[in-house]
Amino acid sequence: MQHTTIHKIVLLPFILCVRFLQLLGKCFGLSYERISVIFNLYLQGGILLLSGALPLMATAWTMTGLTIGWGITLLITSIVYLSIYIVGFITLLKHYHPPMDDAFNLCVNDLLWIAGKWHVSYHAVNLVIFVLWWLALIGMNILAACSILKFGLTI
């Protein structure tokens, strides 16, 4: 009984996301599979990469107000942090390269594999990765950048 209730709770936002992508695909003349790859993998991955650069930009903005030690430490940390996002995005592009239908099928298979490992539904994995985890990472990048700016103002 509880498994069914949880599944219904997860299924509703999943269906809303699918409908959104179908509408977006229709607007651009793309199939659901193609718009899913473009939006969920390439676009969301690119936005995540750009947000990973926010701490570096905040560091560059505050460098003049920091001591040499703090400035270099923050600069190196921010560069390493951004490098992780760059490597992740390149890995994503290599793994899910076109043709789009193959990338879509590979992504579905990967999500099904993760669902099996986590003992949850495919729908739950989709929501966790493409909504919750994505938003959490972007939020963390914004928070890191704001913290660096605040730190630079207090020194």
Q: What is the pLDDT along the chain (155 residues), one digit of tens a residue?
A: 456 676 777 788 999 999 999 999 999 999 999 999 999 999 999 999 999 999 999 999 988 877 888 889 999 999 999 999 999 999 999 999 989 889 999 999 999 999 999 999 999 999 999 999 999 999 999 999 999 998 876 65
Q: 11: helix, coil or strand?
A: helix
Q: pLDDT at position 69, please?
A: 87
The answer to whether residues 45 and 89 touch, using CB atoms and an 8 Å cutoff, is yes
Cα–Cα dist 23/35, whole Å: 10
Q: pLDDT at position 67, please?
A: 83
Q: pLDDT at position 2, please?
A: 53
The answer to whether residues 141 and 52 touch, using CB atoms and an 8 Å cutoff, is yes
Q: What is the pTM of this model?
A: 0.86
The answer to whether residues 141 and 55 touch, using CB atoms and an 8 Å cutoff, is yes
Q: pLDDT at position 17, please?
A: 93
Domain positions in the chain: 2-154
